[in-house]
Amino acid sequence: MGTRISGWVKLAAGLAAVSVFLAGCAPATPPAAVGTETLTVMTHDSFAVSESVMAAFEQHNNVKVQFLLSGDTGSALNRAILARESPLADVFYGVDNTFLSRALEADLFEVYNSPLLESIPAEFRMDEHNRALPVDYGDVCINYDKAFFEERSLAVPQSLEDLTKPEYRGLLVVQNPATSSPGLAFMLATVAEFGETGFLDYWRRLRANEVTVVNDWEVAYYTQFSASSGRGPQPMVVSYSSSPAAEVVFAPEPMDEAPTASITAPGTCFRQVEFVGILSGTPKRALAEKFVNFLLSVAFQEDLPLQMFVYPVNPAASLPDVFIRHAAAATQPARLDAVAIAANRDAWIEAWDEVVLR
Amino acid sequence: MRQRHSAAWITRVKTLGVWVAPVLFLGVFFFYPLAAIFRLAGEMALEQGLSPLMWAKVWRPLSFTFWQAALSTLLTVIVGLPAAYVFGRFTFPGKRAMRVLTTLPFILPTVVVAAGFNALLGGRGWVNLLLMRWMAVSEPPLQIMQSLQAIVLAHVFYNTTIVIRVVGQAWAQLDPRLEQAGRSLGASPLRNLWEVTLPLLRPAILSAGLLVFLFDFTSFGVILLLGGPRFATLEVEIYIQALQRLNLPLAGLLSAIQLICTLLMMAVYTRLAVRSGHIPLSPWLHGEGTRSPRGWRERLLVGGMTLVLIMLLVSPLVALGVRSITRLEAGRGERSSVMPGLTLDYYRELFQNRRLSRFYVPPLLAARNSLLAASGTVALSLPLGFLAAYGLARRSSFSRQMEAVLMLPLGASAVTLGLGFLVVFTRPPLDVRNFPFLIPIAHSLVALPFVVRALQPALVSIPVGLRQAAAALGASPWQVWRYVDLPILSRAVLVAIIFSFTISMGEFGATTFLSRPEMPTLPVAIFRFLSQPGGLNYGQAMAMATLLMLVCGCGIVLLEKLGTHGRD
C-alpha cells in the first residue's frame, strides 16, 4: 500500500528536481537596481531589438522596460483599445497607417511633440497633432523565386495588371486581408491602382487566373512559397521588400545572392508606416517620452533593419550592407489616405471576400 | 427528530461541499471575465445599434462549425475505437512507445502541424513526390492543403489520443466475464462486441466523443492555417470580429451562441448517457485483461492498427523531426526530393543568440517554463477535478446542472475569454502583466473538463459494496478513499494527469493573451521563429518543435512509469 503513494511522491520530487536544475541552466538576468522604475511597452509579436541597444537605454535612464507582445498588428491595437480604461501599458508601438485612424479615433494616445520629429521627413508624419509618431516603414511587395523564373525564362511581372496574364496562372499566393496585415496592404495597393470600384474587377480576373489565398503570412511564405524552406508550389508570394535580405541573413550557409527578389515597380508595393504613441492616462509620462525619443534616435533606428527588417524613418540612420544589396525599397509605392482607409476598409474587405472567396 | 435533521444537513453539506472549490474557481476565472466582455459587448451594441446584417454573419459560420466538428468527431471515433481496443486489450512490442507517440500530436502548435503536413502532403511533399514518380504525372495528385480534408485530417491527428486514452482505459478495466458469458451463450464475436462490450463502454465512448467534439467545435488554428480563408467557424469569426474589426457586439453574439451550442451538446450527451445503466463489476486494475495477440486475425488487427496509427499520427511527427536535421537549400530550383545533407546546425543555432536580440529564447529556459506551467496546471486541475467528479457521482439535480457548467470552458471562445482576462485582471494581485499563476489557471480551465471526464467513468465503476465493506470493517472515510477508491482510480488519475500535462504543454485556450516575454514557453518561441523568412528560422522552428516533442514525450513516459509502477 505504501509503495502506491510513494509513486506520486517520487513524481513530485522528480519534477521539483528537474525544474531546479533547469532554473540553474537559465542565463542569469541582472537584477534591477534599487529604485528602478518599470516602463511597460505594448507592441505586436514581431517586435525585436538588440539587447545591447536596449540595455544602453535602460542603464542610461535607470529604467526597466517590460514588453507586452500582444499578437499581430490588429490584435495588439484592438486589445489596447479594449483596455483603454485601465491601460495595460505606458507606450504602444506598432500601429500602422492602415489602422492609424482607428487608434486616433479611440483617443488612445497623448500628444507628444518630440524634438526629434523635425528630422523625420514629412511623408511619414501622418498625424499632424503628433499623437502617433512614425518609427519605421516597410514595403509590402511581391517576392518571387528567382530560380523558378530563370529556369523557365519567364519574365518577371512588372505591374499588378501583369499578374492576370495567362503565363502567371496559379503562380501567386496572397493572404486574406481580413486576417493578415500584408494581405490587407496588398489589397489596398490594388485599390490605389484600380480605384474603389475597379479593384473588384481586378480581383475577379486574378481569381480566374487561379490565385491562391491563405490566411496568414506564415502559411503563405513557409507552406506555399517555393523559395522558402517550405518548398511550396507557388513562386510568387506577397511579403516584404526586405524579405530577400532576411533570406540572406538567416541562411544556413553563407550566400552572396539572395534566392528571392521583390517586384518594386511603381504601384505594385504598399508602404506600411509604423507608429508609436504614449498611451493616454499613463502615470509615467516622462519615461514614456524618453522611450519615444529613444525609438526615434539613431541608435535604435540603425538597429531596426537587422532586427525587424524594416526601414528607419530617421534619415540620419544608415542601412546595413546586406540591406543595401539584397533589399530594395519601392520607388513609387502605392499610397492611400489613412482616413479613406479607415472609412472603407471593412466594406472593401467584405466586397473582396464576396468576389474572391465565395 | 433533531438528530435526523442534522444528519440530513450533514449529507447536504457533504454533497454540496465538494462543489465549493470548483464553483469558486470557475466563477472567478471563467464566468467573471466572460461576463465582463459580454457586458462590454452589450454596451457597445446599445451605442452602435445592432444591424440586421449581423444575423447573416451568424448562420454560415454556425452551420459550418457543426458540420466540420461532426465529421471530424465521427472520423476520430472511427479511427480511435479500434485503436482503443488494441491498446486496451493487447500487449505488443512497442506499445508504450506507440502510446506516447500518439499523444504527442496533441501538444503541437498548429503552425508546426501545418509545416509537418506540408512536408508530407504538400504540393512538393514526400507523398506527392512519391506518387508523381509512381504515376508518372507532373502535377501533384494529392491536393489536400487548404481544404476541408486537411481540416478533418488535422482534427483526427490531434484528437485520436483522447479516444485512445479514455476509451482504451475503460476497455482495459472492463471485466471480461460479461463478454465471456456472452460467448459461452453462443454469441459471435461481432455480436458480442455490439451487444455486450460497446454498451458497457458507452459512458467512456460518449465522454471521449464529447471532448473531441467540443475541441473540434472551438478549433481555431487548424481552421485558420490548414483550412484557409474559405472556411470560417464561429471561433475564427469571433477572432476576426473581436481582434481585427473590433466589432465586439458581433463577437459577443457569436460567443454567446457558441456557449448555447455547448449547452445543447451537453443536453444531447446527457440524454444519450442516461440510458446506459451502470452495471457494477469489479474493474480489472493491473492489466490482467491484456494479453498478446493470438492467432492471425488478432495479429493482423494489432499490426494493421499500429500501421494506421503510424501513418496518420506518427508520420507528420517524423517529418518534423527529419526537417529539423535536414539542410534544405532554399530556392535552388531543385524540385526533387534530394536531401543535400543532414545537419545539427539548427540545434546549435537554437542555443546561440546570434542576432543578440532582447527577445532571444534560450531553449532550456523555454522548456523549463513550459514544464513549470504544466506542473502548475496538473497541481491545480487534479484536485479540482477530483472534487467535481465526486460531486457529479452523487447524482442530484444540482450535479446534473453542474455537469454542463463544467464543460463550458471547453466550448467557450478562447478569444473572448482571453479578452475578458485582459479587461478584468488589470489590478494587482491578479494582474495579467505580473501574476504568473494566471497561465496555469487558464490552462486548468481547459484541463478541468478533461480531468472530470477521465475520472468520472472510473468513479462510478467503483463497486459500492467494496466501500461499504471497508466502512463496515472500521475504515474512516479518508481511509476508504485512500485504500479503496484511489487504487481503483489510479489508472484514470494517470489519464487525467497526462491530459492536463499535455494540454498545458500545448497551450490551448486563452493563454496566447497571457504570454509574457520574460517567461517564454516553447510554443511561443516556435511561432516567433516562423514569423520571419530565412532557412535558419525555419530550421530552428523545426528544431524547437522537435525539442517540444522530446520534452513532452519524456514527461509522458515519466508520468506513465510512475503511475503504473512499470507494469502495464
Share of chain B above pLDDT 70, in %: 93
Residues from chain B contacting residue A243 (CB–CB below 8 Å): 533
Per the CB < 8 Å rule, is B40 touching A176?
A: no
Residue type for A286, please? A
Share of chain B above pLDDT 90, in %: 36
pLDDT at A154: 93
Residues from chain A contacting residue B482 (CB–CB below 8 Å): 5
Binned at pLDDT 50, 70 and 90, residue A14 comes out as low
pLDDT at B122: 82
Residues from chain A contacting residue B114 (CB–CB below 8 Å): 218-219, 223
Give the C-alpha separation, A95 to A275, whole Å: 5
A37-43 vs A63-69, strand pairing mode: parallel
Give the C-alpha separation, B220 to B415, whole Å: 10
Binned at pLDDT 50, 70 and 90, residue B564 comes out as low
A37-43 vs A91-96, strand pairing mode: parallel
Residues from chain B contacting residue A48 (CB–CB below 8 Å): 355, 357-359
**pLDDT surpasses 90 at A53:** yes
Give the C-alpha separation, A74 to B193, whole Å: 53
Binned at pLDDT 50, 70 and 90, residue A13 comes out as low
pLDDT at B375: 94
Give the C-alpha separation, A312 to A297, whole Å: 10
Whether A255 and A75 have beta carbons less than 8 Å apart is answered as no
Average pLDDT of every residue of chain B: 85
Stretch B158-181: mean pLDDT, rounded?
86
Query: pTM for this one?
Result: 0.89
pLDDT at B356: 86
Per the CB < 8 Å rule, is B531 touching A217?
A: yes
Whether B500 and B377 have beta carbons less than 8 Å apart is answered as yes
Whether A90 and A277 have beta carbons less than 8 Å apart is answered as no
A260-263 vs A270-279, strand pairing mode: unpaired
Q: Which helix (H) or strand (E) holds A317?
A: none
CB pairs under 8 A between A and B: 231
Give the C-alpha separation, B233 to A326, whole Å: 40
**pLDDT surpasses 70 at B328:** no
Cα Rg, chain A, nearest whole Å: 23
State the residue for C-alpha cell 465582463.
B36
Per the CB < 8 Å rule, is A26 touching B365?
A: yes
Residue of A nearest to B356 (CA): A50
Give the C-alpha separation, B160 to A97, whole Å: 45
Binned at pLDDT 50, 70 and 90, residue A29 comes out as very low
Name which of B243, B505, B522 to mutate to probe chain A: the one with the most chain A Cβ atoms within 10 A of its Cβ. B243
In this predicted structure, which of B45-59, B93-107, B502-516 has the lowest mean pLDDT? B45-59
Retrieve residue B265's grid coordinates.
451538446
> B221 burial class (0-12, 13-18, 19+ CB within 10 angstroms)?
buried
Q: How many CB atoms lie within 10 A of CB A356?
A: 20
Q: Which helix (H) or strand (E) holds A95?
A: strand A91-96
Closest-CA distance, B399 to chain A, in angstroms, reads 30
Most confident of B148-152, B396-400, B415-419: B148-152
| Residue B508 or residue B129, greater confidence | B129
Vertex B25: Cα angle to B19 and B30 (nearest 5):
125
Most confident of B136-140, B285-289, B371-375: B371-375
Give the C-alpha separation, B14 to B566, whole Å: 36
Q: How far is the first Cα of chain B from the last one, in angstroms, to the nearest whole number?
A: 53
Q: Could you say which of B145, B229, B534 has the minimum Cβ distance to residue A176?
A: B229
Vertex B406: Cα angle to B27 and B227 (nearest 5):
110
DSSP 8-state symbol, A27: P
Q: Identify which of A178, A172, A154 has the alpha carbon closest to the alpha carbon of residue A345.
A: A178
Q: Identify which of A200, A206, A110, A214 has the alpha carbon closest to the alpha carbon of residue A159.
A: A206
Name which of A25, A231, A284, A341 to mutate to probe chain B: the one with the most chain B Cβ atoms within 10 A of its Cβ. A231
Could you read off the pLDDT of B338-382 as tens digits, one per residue? 456 788 889 998 898 888 888 888 899 999 999 999 999 999 999
Residue type for A78, please? N
B553 strand-pairing partners: none
Q: Could you say which of B115, B331, B372 has the minimum Cβ distance to residue A222?
A: B115
The answer, yes or no, to whether the previous bond of B316 is cis (omega within 30 of 0) is: no
Q: Which residues of B278-313 are buried (b: 16+ CB within 10 A; e: fewer)?
A: eeeeebbeebebbeebeeeebeebbeebbeebbebb
**pLDDT surpasses 90 at A182:** yes
Reduce the DSSP state of residue B330 to 3 states and report it: coil
Most confident of A20-29, A132-141, B388-397, B403-412: A132-141
pLDDT at B4: 65
Could you read off the pLDDT of B389-403 as tens digits, one per residue? 988 887 777 888 888
Per the CB < 8 Å rule, is B331 touching A22?
A: no
**Could you give the C-alpha distances from B469 to B268, B463, B472, B474, B480, in angstroms and in order?**
37, 10, 5, 9, 10
pLDDT at B334: 43
Give the C-alpha separation, B85 to B164, whole Å: 8
Give the C-alpha separation, B7 to B11, whole Å: 6
pLDDT at B282: 61
**pLDDT surpasses 90 at B435:** no
pLDDT at B436: 79
Q: Identify which of B538, B223, B529, B144 has the alpha carbon closest to the alpha carbon of residue A222.
A: B538
Retrieve residue B302's grid coordinates.
494489432
**pLDDT surpasses 90 at A76:** yes
State the residue for C-alpha cell 520607388.
A331
Give the C-alpha separation, A201 to A208, whole Å: 11
Stretch A170-191: mean pLDDT, rounded?
95
Binned at pLDDT 50, 70 and 90, residue A214 comes out as very high
Closest-CA distance, B395 to chain A, in angstroms, reads 29
State the residue for C-alpha cell 455486450.
B196
Closest-CA distance, B123 to chain A, in angstroms, reads 6
Stretch B498-524: mean pLDDT, rounded?
84
Distance of CA A176 to the CA centre of its chain: 16
Residues from chain B contacting residue A322 (CB–CB below 8 Å): none
Could you read off the pLDDT of A103-128 as tens digits, one per residue? 999 999 999 999 999 999 999 999 99
Give the C-alpha separation, A50 to A300, whole Å: 9
pLDDT at A199: 95
DSSP B297-315: HHHHHHHHHHHHHIIIIIH
State the residue for C-alpha cell 451487444.
B195
Could you read off the pLDDT of B250-286 as tens digits, one per residue? 999 999 999 999 999 988 888 887 655 555 556 666 6
Stretch B80-98: mean pLDDT, rounded?
91
Stretch A132-151: mean pLDDT, rounded?
95
Q: Identify which of B162, B171, B177 has the alpha carbon closest to the alpha carbon of residue B213.
A: B162
Would residue B288 be called left, alpha or beta, if left means φ above 0 and alpha means ψ between -120 and 50 degrees? alpha
Stretch B98-112: mean pLDDT, rounded?
90
Q: Where are the alpha helices (DSSP H) in chain A?
A: 2-25, 51-61, 73-82, 100-105, 146-151, 181-208, 217-219, 243-249, 285-296, 298-308, 321-326, 338-357
Q: Could you say which of B146, B364, B530 has the minimum Cβ distance to residue A218?
A: B530
Stretch B193-210: mean pLDDT, rounded?
87
In this predicted structure, which of B5-9, B210-214, B307-311 has the lowest mean pLDDT? B5-9
Stretch B300-326: mean pLDDT, rounded?
91
Residue of A nearest to B329 (CA): A229
| Residue B398 or residue A156, greater confidence | A156
Stretch B544-559: mean pLDDT, rounded?
91
**Could you give the C-alpha distances from A85 to A80, A81, B46, B351, in angstroms and in order?**
9, 9, 19, 41
Q: Identify which of B74, B207, B217 has the alpha carbon closest to the alpha carbon of residue B499.
A: B207
